[in-house]
Amino acid sequence: MNRTARAVTAGALAITTLATLAAFSAVPATQAAEPKKPKPGTVTIYLTRHGETMLNTLERAQGWSDSPLTEEGRLSAEHLGAGLAESGVKFEAAYSADMVRHWETVSLALDELDAKDEATRDERLREISFGKFEGAKNMEMWAAIATELGYANVGELFSDPDFDFMEGLSAVARLSEGSGLVAETPEQVAARAVEALDDIAAKQAKHGGGEVLVVSSGITIMLALETLGADVSELTSGIENGAVSELVYRRGEWTIKTINDLSYVEAGSD
């Protein structure tokens, strides 16, 4: 091979080598090592009302006001946890509203479930604020609502088959205007509660799904359920203390499986 041919061959080899090296360098060093992300899984939320409180027994409006659980309330929270454990539920996470009654309930239930981690507090799960009626006697608040809505008295309001409970809550917000105290509308509460549930479910779905315990309050639970498509018209007495509503979240869509279910508390009390 003459000198010119050797030069051409060497040049071609050099170009081929450089091209090969360039091809390898174009691939990020970490690409092959990147772990596969888990597919979003199905999440089941056990949406639960807190146990009975002192203000419940005193029949006073308890929204952003707070009080501890009664002895009965603590027992029902323990029975809830025992019933859930007996059913074989394994919670991947737990959340509660940020007040004493919610935290006591979720903590006592988790103790019965031998959970290793504490619940996460989320203020978006708290009860509706009743404004100037916070801590007032329930009948005092409802008497004011009846007058605001044009009824002669509370008895006439409650006997009206067409009375809209949500309209009554909206009246509380109007009656509290100018008081300087926060009074929420049903729409505001529903928006924050569903936002919280969406966030909780989406986060758990990214970790493969599973069961999540969430403790909130009665009216907030009803508003969330209604917003997610449930029929709550039969809940004339509201959500019971310790009752569970099961919500299934998959790919951004919600399905309501049960509402106001006391079977876990009942099973745990046996």
Q: How many domains does the chain have?
A: 3
98: helix, coil or strand?
A: coil
Angle between helix axes 100-112 and 71-87 (nearest 10 degrees) is: 40
Q: Among 7-16, 49-58, 260-269, name the one with the lowest average pLDDT.
A: 7-16
Residue 165 and residue 82 share a domain:
no
In this predicted structure, the answer to whether residue 154 has a pLDDT above a threshold of 60 is yes
- Catalytic residue set: 50, 127
Query: What is the reported pTM?
Result: 0.85
CB 204 within 8 A of CB 212: yes
C-alpha dihedral (106, 108, 113, 117), degrees to nearest 10 = 60
Residue 212 and residue 142 share a domain:
no
Q: Given this model, what pLDDT does residue 17 score?
A: 44
Residue 156 and residue 193 share a domain:
no
- Domain end, chosen from 183, 217, 250, is at 183
Residue 138 and residue 123 share a domain:
no
Residue 142 and residue 8 share a domain:
no
**Annotated binding-site residue numbers:** 49-56, 101
Q: Residue 1 is part of which domain span?
A: 1-34
Residue 200 and residue 107 share a domain:
yes
Annotate 80-115 with b (16+ C-beta within 10 A) or e (fewer). bbbbbbeeebebbbbbbbebebbbbbbbbbbebbeb
Query: Which class for 253: exposed (0-12), middle (13-18), buried (19 or more C-beta within 10 A)?
Result: exposed
Strands 253-256 and 244-250, bridge-based pairing: antiparallel
List the end-to-end C-alpha distance of the chain, in Å, as a whole number: 97
110: helix, coil or strand?
A: helix
**Annotated binding-site residue numbers for substrate:** 49-56, 101
Report the percentage of the chain scoring pLDDT > 70: 86
pLDDT digits (tens, 9 = 90+) for 112-140: 999 999 999 999 999 999 999 999 999 99
- Domain end, chosen from 183, 216, 250, is at 183
How confident is residue 233, by pLDDT bands cut at 50, 70 and 90? confident
Q: What are 47's strand-pairing partners? A: 214, 245
Residue 257 and residue 194 share a domain:
yes
Residue 111 and residue 50 share a domain:
yes
Residue 110 and residue 202 share a domain:
yes
